[in-house]
Amino acid sequence: MSAFQCNSLPKKLMAQDFVTSNVKITSWIGLNDLDIEGHWVWVNNQPLNNSVEFWMKQNNKISEPDNWTKVHPDGEDCASLGHPEGETDFWTDAYCFEEKGFVCEASAAV
């Protein structure tokens, strides 16, 4: 399933800790920069609050999002929780055609 079939998102960014402690596979989070490179938008068309600091940062290396074009010239336009080889407590940009799990926000059942 792609990020775009998922009609919800973890827009409450305080949910990040909850998500990362419960999601153990790399997953789409419903965030992309398909329309304008570097302008990240949630699936409900709300722009990403640029003060968030969930993108993976690497000392002395390129941090995420890096819009990597080595595999596909269009670059990476979908935000992913983690990556296939590693931990899931940070965001990376990834190729939208990759298969991943997905994280959605939903009302709590009572």
Question: Which residues in this chain contact Ca ion in the complex, by CB under 5 A?
Answer: 33, 64, 66-68, 75-77, 92-93
Q: How far is the CB of 37 from Ca ion (least distance, A)?
A: 5
Of the two residues 12 and 70, which places its CB atom closer to Ca ion in the complex?
A: 70
Amino acid at 15: A
Q: How far is the CB of 29 from Ca ion (least distance, A)?
A: 14
Taking a C-beta distance cutoff of 8 angstroms, is the pair 56, 92 a contact? Answer: yes
Q: Name the 3-class secondary structure at 105.
A: coil
Q: How far is the CB of 24 from Ca ion (least distance, A)?
A: 20
The residue with its CB nearest to Ca ion is 67
Of the two residues 27 and 92, which places its CB atom closer to Ca ion in the complex?
A: 92
DSSP states of 61-90 as a string? SPPSP----SS-TT---EEEES-TTS-SSS
Of the two residues 18 and 25, which places its CB atom closer to Ca ion in the complex?
A: 25
Q: How far is it, in rounded angstroms, from Cα 61 to Cα 50? A: 21
Q: How far is the CB of 66 from Ca ion (least distance, A)?
A: 4
Taking a C-beta distance cutoff of 8 angstroms, is the pair 43, 5 a contact? Answer: no
Of the two residues 18 and 47, which places its CB atom closer to Ca ion in the complex?
A: 47
